[in-house]
Amino acid sequence: SSEVLEAIENVIQDVLKSLAQNKAPVLTVANRSDWRNIEFKDSVGLQMIPRCTTKQIRSDCPRSAQRFALILKILSMIYKMVQSNTYATKRDIYYSDTQLFGSQSVVDNIINDISCMLKIPRRSLHILSTTKGFVAGNLSYTEEDGTKVHCTYSATVFTVPSNVQGIKNLISHAKFMLIVEKDATFQRLLDDDFCKRMCPCIMITGRGIPDLNTRLLVRKLWDTFQIPIFSLMDADPHGIEIMCVYKYGSVSMSFEAHHLTVPSIKWLGLLPSDLQRLNIPKDALIPFTKQDQNKLESIQKRPYIDCQPMWKKELEIMAASKLKAEIQVLTALSSDYLSRVYLPNKLQFGGWL
């Protein structure tokens, strides 16, 4: 905490120095959304380069003055929370003054800028993410407040903890972990008793694009148990994008890649080639939208696709067919095809990329 307080004090001292010299104070933050500031490393994923381009947030410029003020406002809130050892979610910060902040995305963006500027992980700033992810299967752990969580002996799902760093005493006999894109598929696999029937495993879903805590938990489980991790996504550009976030990270959070990415994640399904192999009826597939087309083209240009020749082929199959499919398309073959046939066969015979 002293490191956080010192980092904030240094920023404020720079502001005061500028004012004392009759200069307009300026804050310098990294260009987090610029691909030129990102390098790809097999072992880490997408990470920010040490000497990245920056942008200045000036207090004397009408376009950036408000953002300058909001950064100082949130810095003062963080300073008080660290001093008093209290925590708040990003939503708490937004609702403390909705008129001032304007929208939740403004708050989210500023918090990421502050974390990057101070070079301090967000959880050390005493800001918690609102968790939307679920976990189930062969896993038990103790939360920071002493609550014992036993996923293993329960048919219910558990919300991913809001402070993943604080969990301890992790125990699991799982042979693998399965990341599921959507809540509906996750629930269906639970209903089919997949975690127990298909040798012990852990299942996690971020319910779409994963929040920070879900990504942190996947990484923590990987660090702790070193078991294979498979991803089960829709066969569409959006599903592939989500899998890439778990595996290689995102551009906007590249400054925290070392804590968030798991490059060893395997693509289990639903593969575009599976749709041909299983003779899924054409009328069960969905035609591409312009947005799908753009998303796929963007993914195909990314640096990590070059080191994944098998992925490249799958993306080419999708691009050629201009068709996508949700995991639920497998119910066209039988209602429990996913849990009784598709996943067991894939896991047994190595049908992943």
Read off the pLDDT of each residue in 297-304 and give the average, rounded to a whole number: 89
CA distances from 266 to 105, 136, 179 (A): 31, 19, 10
R_g over Cα of the chain: 22
Domain boundary among 128, 160, 194: 128
Domain boundary among 128, 145, 160: 128
Question: Do 307 and 166 fall into the same domain?
Answer: yes
Quote the tokens at residue 81. 């929370």
Q: What percent of the chain has pLDDT over 70?
A: 99
Question: Do 118 and 152 fall into the same domain?
Answer: no
User: What amino acid occupies position 97?
Assistant: D
Range of the domain at 33: 2-128
Burial of 340 (0-12, 13-18, 19+ CB in 10 A): middle
- At 72-114, the pLDDT tens digits run 999 999 999 999 988 888 889 999 888 889 889 999 889 988 8
Which residue would you say has higher pLDDT here, 317 or 197? Answer: 317
pLDDT of amino acid 343: 92
Question: Do 19 and 100 fall into the same domain?
Answer: yes
| Position 33 pLDDT exceeds 80 | no
Which position among 79, 87, 94, 95 bears the catalytic label?
95
| Position 235 pLDDT exceeds 90 | yes
pLDDT of amino acid 225: 94
pLDDT of amino acid 264: 92
**pTM recorded for the entire structure:** 0.84
pLDDT of amino acid 194: 85
pLDDT of amino acid 119: 85
pLDDT of amino acid 268: 93
pLDDT of amino acid 39: 83
Total domains in the fold of the chain: 2
Burial of 108 (0-12, 13-18, 19+ CB in 10 A): middle
Residue 79 designated active-site: no
- Residue 200 CA to residue 138 CA, distance in Å, equals 6
pLDDT of amino acid 154: 66
Question: Do 143 and 117 fall into the same domain?
Answer: no
Question: Do 76 and 225 fall into the same domain?
Answer: no
Give the residue among 200, 186, 190 at the shortest CA–CA distance from 152.
200
Helix axes 65-84, 104-118, angle to 10 degrees: 70
Question: Do 154 and 207 fall into the same domain?
Answer: yes
Domain boundary among 128, 158, 175: 128
On whether the CB atoms of residues 41 and 47 are closer than 8 A, the answer is yes
| Position 156 pLDDT exceeds 70 | yes
On whether the CB atoms of residues 202 and 177 are closer than 8 A, the answer is yes
Question: Do 185 and 83 fall into the same domain?
Answer: no
pLDDT of amino acid 153: 67
> In this structure, what CATH number is given to the domain that contains residue 122?
1.10.10.10
Question: Do 65 and 202 fall into the same domain?
Answer: no
- At 36-76, the pLDDT tens digits run 888 888 888 888 888 887 888 888 888 888 989 999 999 99
Question: Do 147 and 276 fall into the same domain?
Answer: yes
Question: Do 189 and 218 fall into the same domain?
Answer: yes
> In this structure, what CATH number is given to the domain that contains residue 189?
3.40.1360.10
**For strand 286-287 and strand 168-171, is the pairing parallel, antiparallel, or unpaired?**
unpaired
Read off the pLDDT of each residue in 112-135 and give the average, rounded to a whole number: 86
On whether the CB atoms of residues 189 and 339 are closer than 8 A, the answer is yes
Q: Any idea what the Cα angle at residue 284 is, between residues 291 and 344, rounded to 5°?
A: 100
